Amino acid sequence: MAQRGIREYDAKRLMAQALPEFSGGKFTYQADVVLIGPQTDLDNVPEEHPWVKKAKLVAKPDQLFGKRGKNNLLYVNKSWGEVKKWIQERMNKKVTITQTTGQTTGVLTHFLVERFVPHDREYYVALTTHRDHDTIHFSTQGGVDIEEVWDTVVTLGIPMLSSIEEMDVEGFLPDELGAEKTTVAEFITALYKLFVDYHFTYLELNPFTLQKGSVVPLDAVAKLDDYASYQCAEKWGKIKFPQSFGMPQPTGEEDYVAELDERTGASLKLTLLNLQGRVWNLVAGGGASVIYADTVVDLGFAEELAMYGEYSGDPSTELTYEYTKTILKLMTKQKDPQGRPKYLLIGGGIANFTDVAKTFTGIIQAIEEYADHLKKTNVKIYVRRGGPNYKEGLAKMRKMGERLGLPVEVYGPETHMTKIVSMALEEQ
């Protein structure tokens, strides 16, 4: 499970979409929200969302950071004209924000605009997934730094494989809710069903309020299990997992691999570290990929490590081809300025169920396509793998090297998993 933060806009969109279903139609949330990015034509917003011209609005950055009010980045009870000007003044501007964990500097690129909702009471609820249970936290004192009033928070634990219907949700809520206690219990029950079905790992509303039978989440923080991207594609829609505020924005190649990853139940990951690096790891398995990267660093070549990535979960030949092609495109963009060789390390442990021959077929197709570029860039290839059909896969690799005239060294499970790293790097 990989927990990935999503924008407040998407959290509210998913709630508006699913709450009626999971509450039996009892709760609705209109979700009058607009996400504004660098390419948004602000002059067209009122045409696409006519309500912004009539309603009082709230505007705030939507980039996975909190404490927006304390950082003077919350614009409340304003007209569209005022909001438009406020966003224009801040779009693509660098700011430093202060949070509990310290200060972070980044560029403001995305803003949430929503309807301003006058209200009297503010509540707090947070749902969290743990290894063997889920927890629900609730407080009647929402809208503040919840840590400052944690003694008002009540907690309900839900054991693994238990359903929310088995829990006494109303019983765990404080009596000070009064007449709203049953309504809040029903809402939390519906919210938890949504939380589970949509594979959230964290969902916090601080605050939310109730208004004429409707739920209004005034502020939302959410994370999804991105390993569920494949099975939840229809439910989630075209969701994006943005970088944390202050982190470098992903390149086109990283975005492309992320799109490939979302298409499949397998796993494909790519994070670029240093495009001038000479060591490129094409590794099967999340654990193995970390071990290979650590080995490169331990041997004193950290500055040469070009990327971190992995493929696992038995990806198809086509996906492996596309993934490998993306890496080779980046690797062969330029020669090493000093004329030194580059190294493509095709490694991994001994697979349990990944078909080595099948995935190697995709890798070989990409290498064949980039053979001339690999020669011009002076790339040396080292292979080590084991698992189902590994002998067939390794034989294909050897023949490929001979056929294309590429320097390829091939090893099976009789060779230590990371031995090819030292073979490559200690030869120079």
Per-domain residue ranges of the chain: 3-29+119-236, 33-115, 252-425
d(CA 224, CA 236): 10
Domain 33-115: CATH class, spelled out: alpha beta
Q: At 79, is the pLDDT very low, low, confident or very high (cuts 50, 70, 90)?
A: very high
Q: Calculate mean pLDDT across residues 334-363.
A: 92
The confidence band for 427, taking pLDDT boundaries of 50, 70 and 90, is: low
User: Given pLDDT bands bounded at 50, 70 and 90, which one contains residue 415?
Assistant: very high
pLDDT band for position 226 (cuts 50, 70, 90): confident
Please check the confidence at residue 250 and state whether its pLDDT lies above 90. Answer: no
pLDDT tens track for 31-54: 899 999 999 999 999 999 999 999
pLDDT exceeds cutoff 70 at 68: yes
Query: Was domain 252-425 assigned CATH 3.40.50.261?
Result: yes
Per-residue CA distances from 35 to 51, 112, 168, 237 (Å): 14, 5, 37, 15
- The Cα 43–Cα 281 span in angstroms is 47
pLDDT for position 143: 87
How far apart are the C-alpha atoms of 181 and 140, rounded to whole Å?
Answer: 11
* 252-425 matches 33-115 in CATH topology: no
Using the predicted structure, report yes or no on whether residue 243 has a pLDDT greater than 90: no
Per-residue pLDDT, 428 = 54
Please give the full DSSP string across 341-377, using - where no structure is assigned: -EEEEEEE-B-SS--HHHHHHHHHHHHHHTHHHHHHT
> Which tokens belong to 195?
């939380």
Percent of the chain with pLDDT over 90: 82
In this predicted structure, the answer to whether residue 1 has a pLDDT above a threshold of 60 is no
| Fold of the CATH domain 3-29+119-236 | D-amino Acid Aminotransferase; Chain A, domain 1 (3.30.470)
Mean pLDDT of 261-288: 92
Model's pTM, two decimal places? 0.73
d(CA 308, CA 387): 22
Mean pLDDT of the chain: 94
